[in-house]
Chains A and B, each alone.
Chain A
Amino acid sequence: MKDYMFLFRGGLDFTKASPEQLQQAMANWKNWVEELKKEGVYNSGERLVRNDAAVVKGSARQVLDGPYTESKEIVGGYISIKAENLKQAIEISKDCPIFNYDGNVEIREVAKM
């Protein structure tokens, strides 16, 4: 069994979303996570706050405001899951609700000792 990281980008524009849409998105997301937990493949996950971010850079530890990317390129959250291989990890990602909102999932294997 390997661990894979799902990095989520894009999706629903939270600043413009209506309460109804937020609730719907939350319910979809929760259902998906619960499903993964039930199957025993879910390790952990968090959503990331979009504002109040910084990038610290170089030997001088230069501090920059937020990631200077388009909002749809910002990582909005991540989860870690268990899978046999990349193919299975891709399969697991397919029901992710982010696809209903025009977002994407980057799938990366966690390097282990």
Chain B
Amino acid sequence: MVASKSVYELTDHLFRHEAGKMVSVLSRLLGLQNLETAQDIVQDTLLQAMSTWSYNTIPENPSAWLYRVAKNKAIDFLRRQKRFKELAPQYSYLLQSEYILTSTVNNLFLEDEIQDSQLRMMFACCHPAITEESQVALTLKTLCGLNASEIARAFLTNEETINKRIYRNKDKIKQQKIELTVPQGKELPERLDGVLKSLYLLFNEGYNSSQPDHLIREDLCQEAMRLAYILTTHVGTNLSITNALLSLMCFQASRLQARLDDKGNIILLKYQDRSKWYQPLIKKGITYLQIATMDSEVSAYHLEAAIASLHAVASSFEKTDWKSIYDLYETLYRLRPEPIVALNKAIASAYAMNKQNALDQLLHIKGLENYYLYHTSIGEIYFELQNKQMAKKFYETALGLTTSKQEQQLLKNKISNCEAVQ
């Protein structure tokens, strides 16, 4: 018997996304200190869907079905719960009355409220009391429906580490009494920065390989974009800086398909087939960048998005506006004087000015000694300056510093190129 192609495939990641939504809504209802209960209810709901749908038809509106089951389970839980004080304070009063219990729960499952709950959850997960790396893990767990082993795979660590990280932070949420609110007024910009930073890290984790298995990484990019998009739908958080970040993500993501060859090896920007760049995303990137530049704010995300846009619209590597890119990197470096920015600036200078200039800049950078791309870049410049011996030396250092199979293959090819011409 040959298994035929499924006609019953649900929307990609339906369970994952609905899990994130339901956890956010239920946590808002039960209070963030009951996050675990919310997660249990959601797991139960998905299990029930799985059991029922496997043998029968999938309901026409699967999301509505899931919400109905989750609501009922939540209401059951609330009826059993005697101590309403431990619930979210704004709801504990409403939930004591059997009469309005159901309608209160129903209201929270309305489309707008679901969106709002996710937004609140984002701010809670990215609370300054939680360390940056944990913020990302917690976001993936609560909002994106990834489990510990999937998160561990994404971060090239083990499940136990991720579990500890999540557990510690659940404690912190309780101790610090972190609430599910969207900060307002003066507090908002700073807290939003934290959320954006986490989404930026999440996206980069997906985009810049630090692990051999690439499949899950694209998911991380998509999740980061989905959450950034939610931020643009809310008046308070739909700021120029949010649009700049989303624009940057769109431009970067448009190249995802062109970045790997059939064997999963990485193709450098220079050699990518630009017809594979996904134009709809480039268009979106341009739209968000336009919104982002309507006011005078200039953040690092603005500059990075502008750089990415110049790459996206260039017809070839050679015809890229390297001069403007170099200028943007200079501005970015003033804003963020970090070695990684210096690295990119130096690479741009190789094309905007000349290779020797790039090499001088590169060799002056401090703090990237353990970063394979730093050594790769120096190797690259030496190679182009016809100094194969030095090129090989730097490629070999880089090879020892990356764990990604694709990167390793790329470097091995480069090393053999150096040997071939000697």
Contacts and interface: CB of A to CB of B under 8 A. Distances in A.
Interface of A: 14-23, 25-27, 29-35, 38-39, 45-47, 49, 77, 79, 91-92, 94-95
A92 B8 contact: no
Given A45-B55, A46-B55, A18 B3 contact: no
A29 B54 contact: yes
Binding site secondary structure of chain A: helix
Contact of A19 (B1, B4, B8, B15): B15
A21 B50 CA distance: 11
A36 B7 CA distance: 14
Contact of A30 (B19, B43, B53, B147): B53
Given A18-B150, A19-B46, A91-B1, 11 more contacts: A14-B50, A18-B145, A20-B15, A22-B49, A23-B13, A23-B15, A26-B49, A30-B58, A31-B6, A31-B8, A92-B1
A20 to B, nearest CB: 5
Interface string B6-50: 111110011110110000000000000000000000110011011
B149 interface: yes
Interface residues of B, number: 30
A20 B16 contact: yes
A32 B145 contact: no
Nearest to B219: A20
B415 interface: no
Contact of B51 (A35, A39, A47): A47
Interface string B382-409: 0000000000000000000000000000
A27 B9 contact: yes
Contacts of A77: 51
A22 B8 contact: no
